[in-house]
Amino acid sequence: MMHMADALISPAVGGTMMAATAGLAAYSIKKVQNDLDDQKIPFMGVMGAFVFASQMINFAIPATGSSGHLGGGMLLAILLGPYAGFLTMASILLIQALFFGDGGLLAYGCNVFNLGFCTCFVAYPLIYKWITRKGLTSRKIFGASMVSAILGLQMGAFSVVLETLCSGKTELPFDTFVLLMQPIHLAIGIVEGLITAAVVTFVWKARPEILERAAVGKTLGGISMKKVLAGILAAAIVMGGFVSWFASSNPDGLEWSLERTAGTAELKASGGVHDLLANVQSKTAFLPDYNFKTATEDETNRYAGTSVSGIAGGALTLGLAGLTGWMIRVFKKKKAKIAP
């Protein structure tokens, strides 16, 4: 699945997304607590387990011979409401991160954002709720599920692209990355939409009160449009800051794609922000280091271990590690002999 991994992000991006996720989670927790229905907790737990389990089901896609899987974000939002759904998605992802190494600890914030926020707080209220605002019918469920799943996943995939680019751990230029991610996730989104639609329709026919209860627990049809728009605007500003910061130190990739779309004049206009951010970046050790153009060939070879000293240093380190490991084992065996 499209889990972000630790290896692809930088501490700055990871940290920011973690903060954003933590904020959203705190807000959601408040909302769930205020919603006097304290039934939510066991439901969140069991539904979380249910979605986790469902993610393992292999759905045979007709005519392609390949299989698809359920993500579950939309389903959770529909069954539990956006706040509880978001928190449930967060705990599923935490268990996956810890027990399977799917997505890492640092990338956890990114994953919750990509798979939770985009579905529960954007696709669900803006698309699903809107399409079904006048009541449920088979057609509306199908349409709403499909569109919200597809768009939710597109948004999530795009976030992955931005997060990876801002981290600078890979060479991929923006447009190639996008061309790679979006179509794949379109296919995934379609499968997700179909499954979600099928399940919701089944539940609606078999036990409609489940859906009704989920719908009732919300205030005024979900989240107010104003709040959502404000949130999107804030996110856009943050994203904009990141993109320009990224552009300031790796002009080639992003500028190249931006030039093709908007023309160089755009970049020059935001010079002030660039310089400030570039200054900050050069002073902090933990931010991604893009300045390879200036690193000497020598230095790069040493980092990459392609020079003699690099190889020697690396070998020595690994040798020390092996020695340490061997010593620990000997020590342990001795201890075991003394105290059986």
Partner 1 sequence: MPKIADSIYNIRLLDDLARKNTAIHRLHPVSKLLATIVYVIAVVSFHRYEIVGLLPFVFYPLVLILLAELPVMPILKRLLWVEPLIIGIGILNPLFDPKGWITFASIMIKSGLTVTACLVLVSTTGLDKIAQALRTLKVPSLFVLQLLLTFRYLAVLIEELARMARAYTLRAPRQRGVRLKDGGPFVGQLLLRAFDRAQRVYEAMKLRGFHGEYHAYGKSKMTRKDILFLLAWSLFFMTARILNIPALFGLLFEGGSRG
Binding to partner 1 in span 105-134, by CB under 8 A: 105-106
| Rounded-to-integer distance, Cα 184 and Cα 298, Å | 40
Minimum distance of partner 1 from residue 119's CB (angstroms): 17
Applying CB under 8 A, does 302 fall inside the site for partner 1? yes
Residue 113's SS3 state is helix
Considering the complex, state which of residue 34 and residue 224 has its C-beta at the smaller distance from partner 1: 34
- Single out the residue of 19, 23, 27, 41 in contact with partner 1 (rule: CB under 8 A): 41
Among 139, 239, 311, 334, binds partner 1 (CB under 8 A): 311
Q: Please report how close the Cβ of residue 116 comes to partner 1 at its closest, in angstroms.
A: 13
Q: Considering only residues 23, 240, 300, 334, which one is a binding residue for partner 1 as defined by CB under 8 A?
A: 300
Q: Of 20, 24, 44, 151, which one interacts with partner 1 (CB under 8 A)?
A: 44
User: Minimum distance between the CB of residue 106 and partner 1, rounded to whole angstroms?
Assistant: 5
* 179 counts as binding partner 1 under rule CB under 8 A: no
Q: Evaluate whether 208 touches 83 at the Cβ level (below 8 Å).
A: no
**Distance from C-alpha of 124 to C-alpha of 151, rounded to nearest angstrom:** 10
Q: Which long-range contacts (CB under 8 A, 24 or more apart) does 208-214 make?
A: 210/79, 211/78, 211/79, 211/136, 214/78, 214/79, 214/80, 214/81
C-beta separation of 52 from 100 below 8 A: no
Stretch of 42-50, 117-125, 230-238, 266-274 contacting partner 1, by CB under 8 A: 42-50
By CB under 8 A, which span of 113-121, 123-131, 237-245, 327-335 interacts with partner 1? 327-335
Could you say whether residue 46 binds partner 1 (CB under 8 A)? yes
Gap between the Cα atoms of 261 and 175, Å rounded: 11
How far is the C-alpha of 333 from the C-alpha of 321, rounded, in Å? 19
The pairing of strands 59-60 and 67-68 is: antiparallel
- Residue 42 near partner 1 by CB under 8 A: yes
Closest CA to 242 of 284, 294, 118, 250: 250
**Nearest to partner 1 of 87, 277 (CB atom):** 87
Site map (CB under 8 A) of partner 1, residues 184-203, x = contact: -------x--xx-xxx-xxx
First CA to last CA distance, the chain: 47
Instruction: Give min distance, CB of 25 to partner 1, in A.
Output: 7
d(Cα 128, Cα 77) in Å, to the nearest integer? 10
Q: Which two tokens stand for residue 320?
A: 């020390």
Q: Does 49 bind partner 1 (CB under 8 A)?
A: yes
Q: How many binding residues for partner 1 (CB under 8 A)?
A: 109
Q: Which is nearer to partner 1, 85 or 222 (CB)?
A: 85
